[in-house]
């Protein structure tokens, strides 16, 4: 093989490596989505992934309800346990395939909600101040609605 062809081979090889790296990065960054009719980004998921995501969402709503109920009844124990239910430890159960399909931006918002619930649980235990809980919940709900405005399931 002449030197020229060998060199061309290496150049092509590096071009392939760069294209693969760009595609991998793009996938990690944008996840597996398409533009939906309502202009939100739609996640392209398998049924089991969608079921998991929506079950997690209903868990969030359940926590929100239990927390508000706890605030009304002045029951810090209930707030603590409801906030913990939606804490970060929940993230460990996310199927790896679903994790891969979520855009970076969405993952960030999801993580921040889980962390905020953990912080709420911690503060409920240490401070026992329901006004503080309410303001934390208010902040969390802003992230819930921000994510819903941007993303949906196909
Ligand atoms: C990181 C993004 C994200 C965050 C944060 C988020 N959600 Fe969602 N949620 C979604 C997506 C995507 C759907 C699917 C919506 C669709 O297809 O229209 C959804 C759906 C839901 C549903 C419908 C569930 C079903 O069975 O159909 C509920 C209820 C819900 N979310 C509650 C919440 C609450 C409460 C919070 C905050 C505590 C929250 N979500 C935070 C992304 C998010």
Q: Are strands 41-43 and 33-35 parallel, antiparallel or unpaired?
A: antiparallel
Instruction: Classify domain 33-153 by CATH number.
Output: 1.20.120
pLDDT digits (tens, 9 = 90+) for 132-143: 999 999 999 999
pLDDT digits (tens, 9 = 90+) for 50-81: 999 999 999 999 999 999 999 999 999 999 99
Pocket of ligand 1 (CB under 6 A): 54, 57-58, 60-61, 64, 106, 109-110, 113, 140, 143-144, 147-148, 151-153
Strands of 151-153's sheet in order across: 33-35, 41-43, 151-153
Q: Give the mean pLDDT of 123-136.
A: 97
pLDDT on residue 25: 76
pLDDT at 27 over 80: no
- Cα(107) to centroid(ligand 1), Å: 13
pLDDT at 29 over 80: no
Q: If you take atom 29 of ligand 1, which residue's CA is the nearest one?
A: 58
Element (H, E) at 151: strand 151-153
pLDDT at 24 over 90: no
Q: If you take atom 37 of ligand 1, which residue's CA is the nearest one?
A: 144
> Is the separation of the CB atoms in 101 and 43 below 8 Å?
yes
DSSP secondary structure letter of residue 127: T
> Is the separation of the CB atoms in 29 and 140 below 8 Å?
no
Rounded to the nearest 5 degrees, what angle is found at the Cα of 115, between the Cα atoms of 34 and 41? Answer: 10
Tokens read off for 77: 């124990």
pLDDT at 1 over 70: no
For the chain, what are the domain ranges? 1-30, 33-153
Q: If you take atom 13 of ligand 1, which residue's CA is the nearest one?
A: 152
Closest to 35 in 3D by CA, of 123, 119, 103, 130: 103
Q: Are strands 151-153 and 41-43 parallel, antiparallel or unpaired?
A: parallel
pLDDT at 30 over 90: no
């Amino acid at each position: 093989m002449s030197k020229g062809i060998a060199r061309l081979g290496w150049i092509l090889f590096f071009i392939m490596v760069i294209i693969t790296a760009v595609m991998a990065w793009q996938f990690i960054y944008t996840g597996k989505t398409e533009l939906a009719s309502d202009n939100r980004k739609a996640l392209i998921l398998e049924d089991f992934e969608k079921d998991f995501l929506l079950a997690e969402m209903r868990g969030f709503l359940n926590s929100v309800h239990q927390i508000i109920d706890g605030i009304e009844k002045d029951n810090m124990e209930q707030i603590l346990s409801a906030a913990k239910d939606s804490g970060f430890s929940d993230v460990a159960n996310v199927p790896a395939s679903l994790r891969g399909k979520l855009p970076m931006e969405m993952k960030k918002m999801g993580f921040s909600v889980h962390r905020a619930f953990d912080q709420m649980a911690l503060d409920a235990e240490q401070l026992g101040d329901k006004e503080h809980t309410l303001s934390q919940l208010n902040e969390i709900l802003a992230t819930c609605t921000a994510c819903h405005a941007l993303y949906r399931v196909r």
